[in-house]
Structure 1
């Protein structure tokens, strides 16, 4: 995929080595995570307090009000807010991981050494993404359990199918994340692609409010953003208990979009990589 490092052996042995590397990478992050215990506790508390605030807001809004625009998801305003918040966490994960790897290695001056090692850059991307996905899912699962207990949030325990939806919607988001990383590789700071997508998602994807609220003249923007389809599928699976068979068309659309965007991201990253290498600026920060 990207230059740097020798290729691992093909077949089952190569896959096993890749899996072992991934597990070692997660173990490394767990040890780092546990070594900063104060930060660990404060991070978990901050996440929990933030979601609890959503809980009280949703509970307050739900008293004496009716929300016909979310009836197709079951009508639970608190569950609507929570699923939107969860989805945005995964959106930030996909958009930030790849450029975060580049910025971290550039700031430490180790990017060129990584490229010369036996762990190519694409593997570093993969390990970082899997590790971040693991920690994000663990954190959100703990918060979900607390919410269900404290506020009786109506969430259908269809988590396996929800994970399939999340993995699928992550494909186009990963493609956008690669585009962001390709820009950061050259500019070092400043990422208009990630900023623009995050802004558009918050305004037009139905994450925090139904897209039907938007004026007719600007609503079509919503249907150009992958997150619009992703959050819709996630809510249908979690809030209505729908199965993958009923959301298969949306999953196919997201997978196809993801294939296009990841391909575009790879091409853009290769060009940015070659440009930075020719300029001798790979390790600049």
Structure 2
């Protein structure tokens, strides 16, 4: 009976159910591409531009993914907490803007991610002798624009969450596309040529390339200027769309009278 209840409960959140099934299929594709990458042997031609070390390549990909998720969750995490507690409607009608607690909540999570990433680089670099050659200003510049971009996309996800209640299609899409196409666990050169063209246009691909160069090749902001310009354009677009998406989702939820539902 308990399993049956869980089934019907999850079935009521159709968006989350569909995304969960799609994630399983995407994972299979990722394993296939990772296998193709590892079949290259010990040379790993696709990562020579970052120094050629497989451990630093995978480690920077892991750190990068953490910042992507933090940016996406900066606002939606707070929203989901209020939804679960049944206080979202009360928070939204308060005279204080809902964006203030969202920013504080996301800022606290960002500090934790920065601290964890610093510790990871220190341990792998100093103790395990993984090669890093870091330009701090270059790294910070890329990560700042990355977080702005993903936070804007996260705001769009907030608008979707206000309507779907569970299952954020925007967050799912960004995380899936990032891990699949942006070179997190294998270089973009593993992909078919037509997918490489698409991947090169994505903000996460641009940001990850810039971050890896800043962390492994000490690339300066001047050397990263094309990447930073592209990310700045993406951040502007994402924040504009995010504000529109948030207000649209809020308007739809208010019209349906579903703000207090979860």
Shorter-chain TM band: 0.7 to 0.9
- 1:270 positional shift: 0.5
Residue 261 (structure 1) aligned with residue 253 (structure 2)? no
Note the alpha carbon deviations across 1:59-114, whole angstroms, 9 max, x for none. Answer: xx8xx821222111111211111100000011111112322111110111222332
State the alpha-carbon separation in 2 of the partners of residues 262 and 162 from structure 1.
Answer: 21
- Residue 23 of structure 1 aligns with which residue? none
Picking from 190, 208, 228, the partner of 1:231 is 208
- Residue 126 of structure 1 aligns with which residue? 103
- Residue 19 of structure 2 aligns with which residue? none
Note the alpha carbon deviations across 1:199-225, whole angstroms, 9 max, x for none. Answer: 111111011111111112332221232
Alignment RMSD (CA, Å): 1.6
Residue 196 (structure 1) aligned with residue 180 (structure 2)? no
Please say which of residues 231-240 and 99-108 is displaced more in the overlay.
99-108
State the alpha-carbon separation in 1 of the partners of residues 137 and 95 from structure 2.
Answer: 34
State the alpha-carbon separation in 2 of the partners of residues 138 and 195 from structure 1.
Answer: 25
- Residue 44 of structure 1 aligns with which residue? none
- 1:118 positional shift: 5.2
Contact persistence 1:171–1:254 (CA under 8 A): no
Note the alpha carbon deviations across 1:20-40, whole angstroms, 9 max, x for none. Answer: xxxxxxxxxxxxxxxxxxxxx
State the alpha-carbon separation in 2 of the partners of residues 127 and 140 from structure 1.
Answer: 20
Contact persistence 2:132–2:215 (CA under 8 A): yes
- 1:145 positional shift: 1.4
Picking from 67, 72, 77, the partner of 2:54 is 77
- 1:136 positional shift: 0.7
Kindly tell me the number of residue pairs found equivalent between the two proteins.
223
- Residue 97 of structure 1 aligns with which residue? 74
- Residue 131 of structure 2 aligns with which residue? 154
- Residue 86 of structure 1 aligns with which residue? 63
Question: Helix, strand or coil: the match of 2:229?
Answer: helix
Give the unaligned 5+ runs of structure 1.
Answer: 1-60
State the alpha-carbon separation in 1 of the partners of residues 134 and 178 from structure 2.
Answer: 26
Picking from 112, 120, 127, the partner of 2:89 is 112
Q: Which has the higher contact order (CA 8 A, sep 6+)?
A: 2
Give the unaligned 5+ runs of structure 2.
Answer: 1-37
State the alpha-carbon separation in 1 of the partners of residues 100 and 90 from structure 2.
Answer: 14
- Residue 6 of structure 2 aligns with which residue? none
- Residue 177 of structure 1 aligns with which residue? 154
* TM-score calculated relative to the size of structure 1: 0.74
State the alpha-carbon separation in 1 of the partners of residues 242 and 127 from structure 2.
Answer: 42
- 1:255 positional shift: 0.8
Note the alpha carbon deviations across 1:138-173, whole angstroms, 9 max, x for none. Answer: 112122211123321111232343122101122221
Contact persistence 1:165–1:230 (CA under 8 A): yes
- Residue 114 of structure 2 aligns with which residue? 137
